[in-house]
Amino acid sequence: MTEEKIKIKGENGGLMLAFPADMAFSEIVEELSDKLDAGSGFFLRGTLVRVPRDRFSKEELDELQELFRTHGLICRLAKPVPAVPLTPLPGGDGTAEARSVPVPQEVQEDAPELQRMLVIDKTLRGGQAIETEGSVIVFGNVNPGAQITAGGSVDIRGTCRGVVHAGAAGDSTAFIIADHLMPTQIRIANYVARSPDEPEDSGKAERAYVKDGQIVIEPIER
């Protein structure tokens, strides 16, 4: 199997497009298109993905932005992010912190969902809870005893062993994704599921979503 050159990875509390410096633009577009097609329904709608500065011409950037837009994502040039005050989460030892994603002025009109996305930069420990009307991205684990309640979808870039409720206001199209999905309990809208006693390790990230009136879990490619 050919190793993927294109990667969309977590960086500085957000997502960044990464690729070899000598990769041709046509190859970037082709592989990125395949990656986004394969991950349809995986990325949270309205997610902001940064691309390297001074790498693309205006025409190339326009083409990338259109490609991301057709998959419900926002593409912008990477730039230094100003310091944002962080609010310690209640409970635990205070190591986990939450902040709202800074919303550039130019994004506010075409991506209102971005304003309701919460980024958790560290592991959620037992006793800590997050509640938001929007979607959540966690760059860390969700440990047993930790809980997330989100009106939108939840993306965990780590292992989930806690309790996660997506689509809490009744949105059954919401989903839950984790690198390792082994929750105490997951809920999507009014549907409830628990992790099996002996979960299988597929070696891939997993997505939980509602299908035919029940929550199903399937492996996906990050």
Q: What is the pLDDT of residues 11-38, one digit of tens each?
A: 655 678 889 989 999 999 999 988 887 7
Per DSSP, the residues of 56-81 read S-HHHHHHHHHHHHTTT-EEEE--PP
58/143 same-domain check? no
Q: What is the mean pLDDT of residues 103-123?
A: 57
> Which of 33, 53, 77 marks a domain boundary?
77
Residue 11's pLDDT is 62
Residue 115's pLDDT is 41
208/107 same-domain check? yes
Look up the domain containing 62 and give its range.
7-77
Q: Contact 19/29 with Cβ under 8 angstroms?
A: no
Distance CA 151, CA 133 (A): 4
Residue 2's pLDDT is 53
> Which of 77, 106, 138 marks a domain boundary?
77
Q: pLDDT, tens digit, for every residue of 142-166?
A: 999 999 999 989 999 999 999 999 9
Q: pLDDT, tens digit, for every residue of 168-196?
A: 989 999 999 999 999 999 999 999 987 66
Residue 105's pLDDT is 43
3 state SS of 104: coil
181/204 same-domain check? yes
Residue 178 lies in a domain: yes
112/163 same-domain check? yes
93/19 same-domain check? no
> Which of 77, 98, 113 marks a domain boundary?
77
| 80 Cβ neighbours under 8 A, 6+ residues apart | none
Distance CA 37, CA 84 (A): 34
Residue 146's pLDDT is 94
Structure tokens at 124: 């959620």
206/134 same-domain check? yes
Tell if the pTM clears 0.85, that is, is over it: no
Q: Cα separations (Å) of 75 from 85, 155, 182, 215?
A: 25, 19, 32, 31
Q: What is the mean pLDDT of residues 69-98?
A: 60
Give 199's pLDDT tier (boundaries 50, 70, 90): low
Residue 14's pLDDT is 62
46/112 same-domain check? no
Please give the angle made by the CA atoms of 124, 125 and 129, to the nearest 5 degrees: 65
